[in-house]
Amino acid sequence: MATLLEEDGDISPKFEAALRAMFKCHDRDQDGALCPAELDAFATLTNGEPFDEDTLVELHENFDLNDQGWLTLKGFFQLYFLQTEGEPEETWKDLKAHGFDRDLEPLSNSPDSESN
């Protein structure tokens, strides 16, 4: 099983690569941020439904956004760093939803492997 966070607390290289692939898959216009429609698509694939209003407020208050208020790649990393510190199994569920195995390798039918 791959490591999500290194001993020093940094995101592991394989986890970073998986997160980049997940972000890229949903950043359809490749502008470096997830607009509301892209964020909804990410949340729906990950959790079965778009984020609720409270979650959106938390995202906007706590994570890096661009000038339009859209979640950046840096903010996406921040989100997953925080989640992984507190609930690593939730992160593994998210990774599985995006087609990654416990070695952080994309499965052949992964939604995120199609855009890589």
Q: Where are the domains of the chain?
A: 26-116
- 115: confidence class by pLDDT, cuts 50, 70, 90: very low
Residue type, 112: D
> Under CATH, to which class is 26-116 assigned?
mainly alpha
Question: What average pLDDT does the structure give for the chain?
Answer: 94
Would you give the distance in Å from CA 93 to the centre of its chain? 11
Q: What is the pTM of this model?
A: 0.90
Quick one: 40 exposed, middle or buried, by C-beta within 10 A (0-12, 13-18, 19+)?
middle
- Mean pLDDT over residues 19-47, rounded? 97
- As a whole number of Å, the end-to-end CA separation of the chain is 22
Instruction: Give the per-residue pLDDT at 68.
Output: 97
* pLDDT tens track for 84-110: 999 999 999 999 999 999 999 998 765
Helices in 13-72 by DSSP H: which ranges? 13-26, 36-47, 53-62
| Greater model confidence, 110 or 19 | 19
Percent of the residues in the chain that have a pLDDT greater than 70, as a whole number? 93
Instruction: Give the per-residue pLDDT at 111.
Output: 58
Q: Which residues contact 36 (CB under 8 A, 6 or more apart)?
A: 70
